[in-house]
Amino acid sequence: MLRAIVASTARHAVKLVAVPALPLRRNFSTVSFLSKGVNHPPRPKPPPETEIDESFLKGSGPGGQKINKTNSAVQLIHRPSGLVIKCQETRSRSQNRKIARQLLADKLDDLTHGDQSRAAIVSEFKRKKRASSAKKSRRKYRKLEDEKKAGAFAGEEEQGEESEGEEKEGEDVNETVLRDVDESIQTDTDEVTPEVATKVAIEEDKKENMDAVLVVSGRLSRS
């Protein structure tokens, strides 16, 4: 879209200059427009002014001379119920009047509806919210503790498996050594030739004959 701008030249001639229009800024932020979706009861309305006696008092406590020397505090007396409300939340009398009336409305709502009053419902909602947050926190830390214990147990199992593997490897080594020894002995036995066996048998026979001769000679000498 273009807009016309009137420009004046040196000869006082009027000239139209086409200038592109600046684009409009758009706000894409929607955070401020989103609500929490909590449906609390509406705030109770203050009682009519005909039932209220209002007076202005000097404040007390910290706040300087503006509080202690001016009648900025507001006191309300509800004639039908006898409730007395005093408010000095701010230094402004008009704001204190508004706050005092809302406090009076909340007190009357508590007296009238009890557990179903707005203050009681909001308090119960906040209590449940705190309890839910605490429950989630406990569940989170319990889960972390369980994961920690599971990790420690898995580490112990891995160490046990490693030790069992080492023992099994040692047994395998011992079996291998014994098998090699048996094989070497069997090999030595298999390598004996018939000639060697014959010589061994002859030597054994000679030894037996010599033993027999010695025995006979011993008997003869005794007789």
In the chain, which stretches have pLDDT less than 50? 1-11, 28-35, 189-190
pTM: 0.44
Q: Quick one: which of 134, 77, 76 has its CA closest to 100?
A: 76
Q: Quick one: which of 59, 53, 61 has its CA closest to 91?
A: 59
Q: Where are the alpha helices (DSSP H) in the chain?
A: 65-68, 93-113, 118-190, 194-222
Q: Which residue has 């066996």 as its token pair?
A: 197
Residues 6+ apart with CB under 8 A from 60: 67, 68, 73, 88
State the number of CA atoms in the 13 A half-sphere of 59 facing the CB: 20
Domain boundary assignment for the chain: 49-116
Residues 6+ apart with CB under 8 A from 14: 6, 7, 8
The answer to whether the CB of 44 falls within 8 A of the CB of 106 is yes
pLDDT at 104: 92
Digit-coded pLDDT (tens) for 66-119: 676 778 889 999 999 898 999 888 888 889 999 999 999 998 888 888 887 888
pLDDT at 84: 92
CB atoms within 10 A of CB 54: 13
At 18, the amino acid letter reads: A
Asked if the 49-116 domain carries CATH number 3.40.50.720, the reply is no
